[in-house]
Amino acid sequence: SAQQARLEGFFKAV
Amino acid sequence: MLEARLEQASILKKVVDAIKDLVQDCNFDCNDSGIALQAMDNSHVALVSMMLKSDTFSPFRCDRNIALGINLNSFQKVLRCAQNEDILTLKADDSPDVVSLVFESSEQDRISEYDIKLMDIDQEHLGIPDTEYAATITMPSGEFQRICRDLSALSESVAIEAEKNAVKFVCNGDIGNGAISLRNHSSVEKPEQNVNIELSEPVALTFSLKYLVNFCKASGLSGSVKLCLSNEVPLLVEYELASNSYLRFYLAPKIGD
Protein backbone atom coordinates (compact mmCIF):
# COMPACT_ATOMS: atom_id res chain seq x y z
CA SER A 1 0.00 0.00 0.00
CA ALA A 2 1.00 3.65 -0.18
CA GLN A 3 1.52 3.67 3.60
CA GLN A 4 3.90 0.70 3.37
CA ALA A 5 5.90 2.43 0.67
CA ARG A 6 6.11 5.59 2.76
CA LEU A 7 7.38 3.73 5.82
CA GLU A 8 9.88 1.59 3.90
CA GLY A 9 11.04 4.56 1.86
CA PHE A 10 11.80 6.51 5.03
CA PHE A 11 13.90 3.77 6.57
CA LYS A 12 16.72 3.01 4.23
CA ALA A 13 17.82 -0.62 4.26
CA VAL A 14 21.34 -0.84 5.65
CA MET B 1 28.05 -14.05 27.39
CA LEU B 2 25.16 -11.82 28.36
CA GLU B 3 24.21 -11.03 31.93
CA ALA B 4 21.83 -8.14 32.50
CA ARG B 5 20.15 -7.42 35.81
CA LEU B 6 17.11 -5.17 36.06
CA GLU B 7 16.09 -3.80 39.46
CA GLN B 8 12.42 -4.10 38.52
CA ALA B 9 10.97 -6.72 36.23
CA SER B 10 8.07 -4.38 35.46
CA ILE B 11 10.09 -2.43 32.84
CA LEU B 12 10.58 -5.45 30.60
CA LYS B 13 7.05 -6.71 31.29
CA LYS B 14 5.61 -3.37 30.17
CA VAL B 15 7.81 -3.17 27.06
CA VAL B 16 6.79 -6.64 25.90
CA ASP B 17 3.11 -6.01 26.73
CA ALA B 18 3.28 -2.80 24.68
CA ILE B 19 4.75 -4.31 21.52
CA LYS B 20 3.52 -7.89 21.36
CA ASP B 21 0.37 -7.07 19.41
CA LEU B 22 2.44 -5.33 16.73
CA VAL B 23 5.33 -7.74 16.44
CA GLN B 24 5.30 -11.51 16.99
CA ASP B 25 8.91 -12.65 16.60
CA CYS B 26 11.93 -10.41 16.87
CA ASN B 27 15.61 -10.24 17.65
CA PHE B 28 16.81 -8.61 20.85
CA ASP B 29 20.25 -7.42 19.75
CA CYS B 30 22.64 -7.36 22.70
CA ASN B 31 26.04 -5.68 22.72
CA ASP B 32 28.12 -3.68 25.18
CA SER B 33 25.88 -0.60 24.76
CA GLY B 34 22.72 -2.43 25.81
CA ILE B 35 19.78 -4.34 24.38
CA ALA B 36 18.06 -3.08 21.23
CA LEU B 37 15.11 -4.21 19.20
CA GLN B 38 13.86 -3.01 15.85
CA ALA B 39 10.96 -4.59 14.01
CA MET B 40 8.24 -3.72 11.56
CA ASP B 41 4.70 -4.81 12.19
CA ASN B 42 3.25 -7.47 9.87
CA SER B 43 1.56 -4.92 7.63
CA HIS B 44 4.80 -2.88 7.26
CA VAL B 45 2.98 0.33 8.21
CA ALA B 46 4.53 0.72 11.67
CA LEU B 47 8.01 0.17 13.11
CA VAL B 48 8.99 -0.45 16.73
CA SER B 49 12.41 0.61 17.99
CA MET B 50 13.47 -0.11 21.56
CA MET B 51 16.76 0.70 23.22
CA LEU B 52 17.54 -0.37 26.76
CA LYS B 53 20.95 1.17 27.40
CA SER B 54 23.47 -0.73 29.49
CA ASP B 55 22.99 1.83 32.31
CA THR B 56 19.39 0.64 32.66
CA PHE B 57 20.88 -2.57 34.03
CA SER B 58 23.11 -3.08 37.03
CA PRO B 59 25.29 -4.92 36.39
CA PHE B 60 25.36 -5.28 32.60
CA ARG B 61 27.81 -7.52 30.86
CA CYS B 62 27.84 -8.47 27.18
CA ASP B 63 31.20 -9.51 25.73
CA ARG B 64 30.14 -9.87 22.10
CA ASN B 65 27.16 -9.19 19.87
CA ILE B 66 24.37 -11.66 20.55
CA ALA B 67 20.99 -11.73 18.80
CA LEU B 68 18.28 -13.30 20.91
CA GLY B 69 15.45 -14.34 18.56
CA ILE B 70 12.38 -14.49 20.76
CA ASN B 71 8.69 -15.14 20.19
CA LEU B 72 7.05 -12.32 22.12
CA ASN B 73 4.03 -14.38 23.05
CA SER B 74 6.34 -16.88 24.77
CA PHE B 75 8.32 -14.03 26.33
CA GLN B 76 5.14 -12.52 27.76
CA LYS B 77 4.06 -15.87 29.21
CA VAL B 78 7.34 -16.18 31.10
CA LEU B 79 7.47 -12.51 32.14
CA ARG B 80 4.00 -12.87 33.64
CA CYS B 81 5.59 -15.29 36.10
CA ALA B 82 7.61 -12.38 37.51
CA GLN B 83 6.23 -9.99 40.12
CA ASN B 84 6.56 -6.35 39.09
CA GLU B 85 9.02 -5.64 41.90
CA ASP B 86 11.13 -8.73 41.32
CA ILE B 87 14.76 -8.31 40.33
CA LEU B 88 15.09 -9.75 36.83
CA THR B 89 18.32 -11.12 35.36
CA LEU B 90 18.69 -12.11 31.70
CA LYS B 91 21.45 -14.57 30.88
CA ALA B 92 22.65 -16.10 27.62
CA ASP B 93 25.76 -17.81 26.26
CA ASP B 94 27.68 -16.44 23.30
CA SER B 95 25.93 -18.83 20.88
CA PRO B 96 22.76 -19.46 22.78
CA ASP B 97 19.90 -21.89 22.20
CA VAL B 98 17.99 -20.41 25.11
CA VAL B 99 17.80 -17.21 27.11
CA SER B 100 17.55 -17.69 30.87
CA LEU B 101 15.50 -15.45 33.11
CA VAL B 102 15.92 -15.36 36.86
CA PHE B 103 13.35 -13.58 39.03
CA GLU B 104 14.33 -12.76 42.60
CA SER B 105 12.01 -11.40 45.20
CA SER B 106 13.64 -8.62 47.18
CA GLU B 107 11.45 -9.34 50.19
CA GLN B 108 11.20 -13.12 50.13
CA ASP B 109 13.87 -15.73 49.64
CA ARG B 110 12.33 -16.84 46.38
CA ILE B 111 14.28 -17.41 43.20
CA SER B 112 12.45 -18.44 40.00
CA GLU B 113 14.36 -19.63 36.95
CA TYR B 114 12.97 -19.94 33.44
CA ASP B 115 14.43 -20.63 30.00
CA ILE B 116 12.94 -19.55 26.69
CA LYS B 117 13.92 -21.39 23.52
CA LEU B 118 15.38 -19.04 20.93
CA MET B 119 14.51 -18.85 17.24
CA ASP B 120 16.56 -17.99 14.16
CA ILE B 121 14.96 -14.81 12.89
CA ASP B 122 16.15 -13.35 9.62
CA GLN B 123 15.29 -9.73 10.22
CA GLU B 124 15.84 -6.88 7.82
CA HIS B 125 17.85 -4.09 9.43
CA LEU B 126 16.70 -0.64 8.50
CA GLY B 127 18.49 2.63 9.07
CA ILE B 128 16.48 5.24 10.92
CA PRO B 129 17.51 8.65 9.53
CA ASP B 130 18.13 11.60 11.84
CA THR B 131 15.18 13.85 11.18
CA GLU B 132 14.46 17.48 11.97
CA TYR B 133 10.75 17.36 12.68
CA ALA B 134 8.48 20.31 11.88
CA ALA B 135 6.51 19.79 15.09
CA THR B 136 7.39 18.13 18.40
CA ILE B 137 4.61 17.77 20.95
CA THR B 138 5.27 16.57 24.49
CA MET B 139 2.16 15.73 26.48
CA PRO B 140 0.96 13.43 29.26
CA SER B 141 0.93 9.85 27.97
CA GLY B 142 -2.41 9.19 29.66
CA GLU B 143 -3.96 12.14 27.88
CA PHE B 144 -2.75 10.91 24.49
CA GLN B 145 -4.09 7.45 25.29
CA ARG B 146 -7.50 8.85 26.22
CA ILE B 147 -7.69 10.95 23.05
CA CYS B 148 -6.81 7.99 20.83
CA ARG B 149 -9.29 5.70 22.59
CA ASP B 150 -12.10 8.30 22.51
CA LEU B 151 -11.63 9.13 18.85
CA SER B 152 -11.27 5.47 17.82
CA ALA B 153 -14.90 4.99 18.90
CA LEU B 154 -15.90 7.44 16.17
CA SER B 155 -13.46 6.91 13.35
CA GLU B 156 -10.64 4.80 11.94
CA SER B 157 -8.41 7.83 11.42
CA VAL B 158 -7.31 10.95 13.22
CA ALA B 159 -5.83 14.12 11.77
CA ILE B 160 -3.15 15.64 13.99
CA GLU B 161 -2.87 19.34 13.26
CA ALA B 162 -0.02 21.18 14.92
CA GLU B 163 0.12 24.94 14.78
CA LYS B 164 1.65 27.65 16.92
CA ASN B 165 0.89 26.97 20.61
CA ALA B 166 -1.83 24.40 19.85
CA VAL B 167 -2.33 20.87 18.62
CA LYS B 168 -5.67 19.53 17.44
CA PHE B 169 -6.78 15.92 17.09
CA VAL B 170 -9.67 15.72 14.63
CA CYS B 171 -11.74 12.79 13.43
CA ASN B 172 -14.69 12.42 11.08
CA GLY B 173 -16.81 9.31 11.45
CA ASP B 174 -20.12 7.82 10.30
CA ILE B 175 -21.92 8.77 13.52
CA GLY B 176 -20.35 12.21 13.82
CA ASN B 177 -17.15 14.15 14.28
CA GLY B 178 -14.77 14.86 17.15
CA ALA B 179 -12.01 17.37 17.84
CA ILE B 180 -9.75 17.84 20.84
CA SER B 181 -7.45 20.84 21.11
CA LEU B 182 -4.53 21.15 23.49
CA ARG B 183 -2.58 24.32 24.09
CA ASN B 184 0.87 24.86 25.51
CA HIS B 185 0.53 24.32 29.23
CA SER B 186 3.18 24.63 31.89
CA SER B 187 2.67 24.12 35.60
CA VAL B 188 5.29 24.01 38.31
CA GLU B 189 2.88 22.28 40.68
CA LYS B 190 1.77 19.59 38.25
CA PRO B 191 4.57 19.21 35.68
CA GLU B 192 3.17 15.81 34.73
CA GLN B 193 0.29 17.66 33.04
CA ASN B 194 2.54 19.88 30.92
CA VAL B 195 1.94 20.19 27.20
CA ASN B 196 4.77 21.58 25.10
CA ILE B 197 4.49 22.29 21.40
CA GLU B 198 7.65 23.13 19.47
CA LEU B 199 7.02 24.13 15.90
CA SER B 200 9.12 25.20 12.94
CA GLU B 201 6.17 25.05 10.54
CA PRO B 202 2.52 23.99 10.82
CA VAL B 203 1.85 20.31 10.09
CA ALA B 204 -1.36 18.37 9.50
CA LEU B 205 -1.21 14.61 8.95
CA THR B 206 -3.70 11.76 9.18
CA PHE B 207 -3.00 8.46 10.92
CA SER B 208 -4.74 5.17 11.57
CA LEU B 209 -6.14 5.16 15.11
CA LYS B 210 -5.87 1.38 15.34
CA TYR B 211 -2.07 1.71 15.45
CA LEU B 212 -2.02 4.73 17.76
CA VAL B 213 -4.25 2.91 20.26
CA ASN B 214 -1.79 0.04 20.09
CA PHE B 215 1.22 2.31 20.73
CA CYS B 216 -0.56 3.75 23.77
CA LYS B 217 -0.20 0.38 25.49
CA ALA B 218 3.24 1.76 26.38
CA SER B 219 1.70 4.55 28.47
CA GLY B 220 2.58 2.78 31.73
CA LEU B 221 6.29 3.13 30.89
CA SER B 222 6.40 6.93 31.04
CA GLY B 223 4.24 9.77 32.29
CA SER B 224 4.79 11.71 29.09
CA VAL B 225 4.90 10.95 25.40
CA LYS B 226 6.57 12.82 22.56
CA LEU B 227 4.96 13.10 19.13
CA CYS B 228 7.22 14.23 16.27
CA LEU B 229 5.67 15.16 12.95
CA SER B 230 6.85 16.34 9.56
CA ASN B 231 4.95 16.37 6.33
CA GLU B 232 4.94 13.04 4.47
CA VAL B 233 7.29 11.22 6.87
CA PRO B 234 6.32 8.70 9.54
CA LEU B 235 5.06 9.99 12.87
CA LEU B 236 7.41 9.25 15.76
CA VAL B 237 5.77 8.39 19.08
CA GLU B 238 8.40 8.20 21.79
CA TYR B 239 8.24 7.01 25.39
CA GLU B 240 11.43 7.98 27.20
CA LEU B 241 12.72 5.61 29.86
CA ALA B 242 15.37 6.08 32.52
CA SER B 243 19.09 6.18 31.54
CA ASN B 244 18.36 7.51 28.01
CA SER B 245 16.56 4.31 27.11
CA TYR B 246 13.43 4.52 24.99
CA LEU B 247 10.56 2.81 23.25
CA ARG B 248 9.72 4.42 19.91
CA PHE B 249 7.00 3.74 17.40
CA TYR B 250 6.92 5.02 13.83
CA LEU B 251 3.71 5.15 11.82
CA ALA B 252 3.36 6.05 8.16
CA PRO B 253 0.78 8.77 7.50
CA LYS B 254 -2.30 8.25 5.36
CA ILE B 255 -2.09 10.54 2.36
CA GLY B 256 -5.00 10.24 -0.03
CA ASP B 257 -5.18 6.49 0.67
pLDDT digit string, tens, across residues B75-118: 999 999 999 999 999 999 999 999 999 999 978 789 999 999 99
Minimum Cα–Cα distance from B44: chain A residue? A4
Angle between helices B10-19 and B72-79 (to 10 degrees): 150
Minimum Cα–Cα distance from B43: chain A residue? A4
pLDDT band at B125 (very low <50, low <70, confident <90, very high): confident
Residue B108 corresponds to which amino acid?
Q
* Cβ B168 vs Cβ B180: under 8 Å: yes
**pLDDT at res. B257:** 58
Which of B41, B45, B156, B205 is best to mutate for the A interface (most A CBs within 10 A)? B45
Give the H/E segment covering residue B137: strand B135-140
Query: Could you give the ipTM of this predicted complex?
Result: 0.84
> Within a 13 Å sphere around the CA of B62, how many CA atoms are in the beta-carbon half?
29
How far apart CA B130 and CA B201 sit, in angstroms, is 18
Range A2-5, long-range pairs (CB < 8 A, 24+ positions):
A2/B255, A2/B256, A2/B257, A3/B45, A3/B208, A3/B252, A3/B253, A3/B254, A3/B257, A4/B43, A4/B44, A4/B45, A4/B252
Mean pLDDT (chain B) is: 95
Give tens-digit pLDDT for B47-80: 999 999 999 999 999 999 999 999 999 999 999 9
Interface touch A14/B126, C-beta < 8 Å: yes
Residue B256 has pLDDT above 80, yes or no: no
**pLDDT at res. B89:** 98
**pLDDT at res. B160:** 98
* Cβ B161 vs Cβ B212: under 8 Å: no
C-alpha dihedral, B191 to B197 to B198 to B200, nearest 10°: -170
How far apart CA B148 and CA B157 sit, in angstroms, is 10
Rounded mean pLDDT, B124-138: 91
Closest chain B C-alpha to A9 CA, distance in angstroms: 9
Minimum Cα–Cα distance from A12: chain B residue? B127
Interface touch B252/A13, C-beta < 8 Å: no
Number of CB pairs, chain A paired with chain B, less than 8 A apart: 53
Label each residue of B13-29 as H, E or C: HHHHHHHCCCCCEEEEE
Closest chain B C-alpha to A5 CA, distance in angstroms: 8
pLDDT band at B192 (very low <50, low <70, confident <90, very high): confident
- Considering only CB atoms, B252 lies closest to which of A7, A12, A14, namely A7
